[in-house]
Chains A and B, each alone.
Chain A
Amino acid sequence: MSDYILKVEAINKSFRQHQVVKNISFEVRRGEILGLLGPNGAGKTTVIRMIMGIFQPDSGRIHFDREYIIDKKKVGYLPEERGTYDETRVLETIVYFARLKGLTKAEAVERAMLWLERMGLKDYARNKIEELSKGMQQKIQFIISVIHKPTLLVLDEVFSGLDPVNQNLFKDLIRELAAEGITILLSSHQMNLVEELCDRIFMINKGERVLYGKLDEIKDKAGIRIVNLKTRKKISNISLAEDNRISNLQINGRSVSFHVLGDYSPDSIINMLPEGIVIDELSIMRPPLHDIFVATVNRGVQ
């Protein structure tokens, strides 16, 4: 058994003269949640469509569990641009898609009912899809992508358009599925959610790889610490040692925050402060993924 479920090797794709994917390689390891990140138009969906076999890369290879051709019955896919039939009924629609994945009718009906119950949509099984709210429809689409217990689940912008309650529901479901051993490739713009869910991330910009690796390592590599502190008394100005490494200094009453370049321990931060300042609170954090994302994209723009 290989240690990856999906291995993308140096794939390229052009539409007309425009190259949208440039020499992309990464792998999704068995049982992990890999975050696929990138700004709009970076080529994420194109990469996903190539993985799903909807179209072929111009060059490069995609291996699926050591096979060269993806086994469509073993993957689940929630596309970014979602549509469902509107005039068909909820249960029969789920069953149809489950049957296309190879389930028998009895299996499909049984699992569909379990999922509908789980999503709180049991009473809507006989309703037409058009009668459901958008959030409910998204739940139906989610069910369709996971009902056949795929080996690999590809979720493209799974959280977009969800309210906070449903975001949490989907987050819990994704964790559960991962715990059951389903490997997940997740693309999203909600960095806080990616941070909560993903083991590793792969980030592309303008069709090229810009970040790839474990979330922790990427944060370490960013080389920035964000310092937040609260002083006992209000201050209006502060002079810090080594101020060539300091940026984004903000003072607001008792709150002071700044970014510091390099790896700093709490002690060394305190040493940077002028004498006589009494500190009530101090936190030193690695930057959130959001900041790394924005910084990386902006660097690309320059």
Chain B
Amino acid sequence: MSDIFRVAQWEFVKGIKNKGFLFLTFVFPIIMVIIVAIISFAAIRGSGGQDLNLAIVDETSFMTGMLEDSFAQYEYEADFISASALDEIEKVLQEEEYDCILHIPEDVLETNQVYYYFKELSSLETDFIRNILSDILINQRLVERGYSPLEIRELTANVRVISRHIKEVEGGGFSFGILMPYFLALLMILAVFFSGSILLQSIIKEKTNRIVEIILSSIPAKALMFGKIIAYALLSIVQILIWVLAGSLVILYFEPKTLESLYSTKTFLMLLYVFFAFLLVASLNAILGSSAKDAQSGSQATGLLVLIPVIPIYFATSIIQEPNGTISKVLSYIPFFTPTTMMLRLGVSAPSGKEILLTIVILLVFSYLLILLSAKLFRIGMLMYGKNVNLRELIKWARSKDY
């Protein structure tokens, strides 16, 4: 146990000081911040609503009051102006600094048409207004057909209940639920790719310069492999935490409310799954490192290994639509797919505690066995240098007693 700890400590410190690791860890967030900033800026510019100065010409007798109520609900502001403005729309738009004018004709209930005048294409933001107007008009028509206010509220309320329902299950914003697993999966691919290749290089290097003989004459191969793999998994977690922290700072600046939902048990569980994903990919890297002749032939394959745990992303639509469906459940119990599948499921639903526990136990056992296997192959492969090893030989090694 202390051997594992010592190796892990050494490898961790060595990894932290690695120039490539430092570059990726600190330059990447800066690039990410710039991208997020650009997207947020564009989003704010594009989302229109609050930024637009809207003027409304209401020729009906009933709309104004209801519009004001609805706008107040969404903290949206609009000026109601007189119908005479319509005669010289262009001039009003210019002089009054309105971005757009909404004209509600008197016969809107019959024609179902309103007019929207705007200065620039960027002011063309009609979805929000259409929804509000539709609500009001439907309401009005129902009143005219003799429905009681209570019935109407019930009918429209039903529509709203569904939208609230989705929010509750997610435990956070809708976008967070879907995006968080994708986001973590992306970080996972990046981090595992880089720390995985650092691990691979470190194994191949020790193998080619024969340090491994001194190490193996001091500690068992198992301790070396466990130490190395744990160190690199932790290294990746540190890297992701740095990124998440950097991301949090950006979110804190633009959208402080979202941050609360970021720091939750679910995020912790997702990170735990990410850690296991690392253990699995790192073990595969170690197997690769044991059998590769030199650094070059190793790094070609490492890119493919990273993709294995990401395969469930191809099933993302099914998993998100039916987080407790058959596909989701089956994928959850295939060790290599467990982390990503469970992350996606956690994003959109609340898997039972039993399932979470079971998948983590499966991952624990499977990672342990995989690291043992990598240690065994490593031990034999380490001493065969100067040649690449094919799959048949790997299997032969795995079966051999020379361990």
Contacts and interface: CB of A to CB of B under 8 A. Distances in A.
Interface of A: 49, 52-56, 72-73, 75, 77, 79, 81-85, 87-88, 96-97, 99-101, 141, 144-145
B213 A73 contact: no
Nearest to B219: A100
Contact of B214 (A49, A56, A79): A79
A100 B219 CA distance: 7
Contacts of A55: 379-380, 383, 402
Contacts of A83: 206, 208-211
A54 B211 CA distance: 12
Interface in B1-54: 3, 6-7, 10, 14, 17
A54 B213 contact: yes
A106 B401 CA distance: 39
B216 A100 contact: no
A121 B215 CA distance: 23
A83 B215 CA distance: 11
A231 B235 CA distance: 78
A22 to B, nearest CB: 18
B346 to A, nearest CB: 39
Contacts of A84: 209, 211
A74 to B, nearest CB: 11
Contact of A97 (B3, B218, B379): B218
Contact of A52 (B14, B208, B213): B213
A274 B402 CA distance: 66
B210 A101 contact: no
B217 A75 contact: yes
A88 B206 CA distance: 13
Contact of A72 (B218, B380, B383): B218
Contacts of B3: 100
12 contacts: A54-B216, A55-B379, A56-B403, A77-B213, A81-B210, A83-B208, A83-B209, A83-B210, A97-B215, A100-B6, A100-B218, A145-B214
B383 A53 contact: no
A77 B383 contact: no
Nearest to B211: A83
Given A49-B383, A55-B402, A56-B402, A100 B215 contact: yes
Contacts of A85: 14, 211
Interface in B321-380: 379-380
Contacts of B217: 52-54, 72, 75, 77, 79
7 shortest A-B CB distances, which residue pairs?
A: A83-B209, A77-B217, A100-B218, A79-B213, A81-B210, A52-B217, A83-B210
A96 B6 contact: yes
Interface string B371-403: 000000001100100000000000000000111
Given A85-B211, A99-B6, 4 more contacts: A79-B214, A82-B210, A96-B6, A96-B10
A127 B17 CA distance: 15
A88 B211 CA distance: 13
Nearest to B382: A54
A266 B214 CA distance: 51
A101 B216 CA distance: 11
Contacts of A97: 214-215, 218
A145 B215 CA distance: 11
B214 A144 contact: yes
Nearest to A83: B209
A101 B383 contact: no
B141 to A, nearest CB: 77
Interface in B188-232: 206, 208-211, 213-220
A129 B21 CA distance: 21
A99 B3 CA distance: 8
A55 B62 CA distance: 91
A85 B3 CA distance: 19
Which residue, A55, A56, A100, A144, has most C-beta atoms of chain B within 10 A? A100
Contacts of B214: 77, 79, 97, 141, 144-145
A96 B14 CA distance: 12
A44 to B, nearest CB: 14
Nearest to A141: B214
A88 B14 contact: yes
Contacts of B6: 96, 99-100
A52 B216 contact: yes
A157 to B, nearest CB: 12
Nearest to B3: A100
B213 A49 contact: yes
Contact of B219 (A49, A72, A144): A72
B149 to A, nearest CB: 77
Nearest to A98: B218
Contacts of B206: 83
Contacts of A87: 14, 17
Contacts of B215: 97, 100
B4 to A, nearest CB: 11
A284 B110 CA distance: 132
Contacts of B211: 83-85
Contacts of A100: 3, 6-7, 215, 218-219
A73 B209 contact: no
Contacts of B7: 100
Nearest to B403: A56
Given A49-B383, A100-B3, A73 B402 contact: no
Contacts of B14: 85, 87-88
A83 B217 CA distance: 14
B292 to A, nearest CB: 17
A56 B401 contact: yes
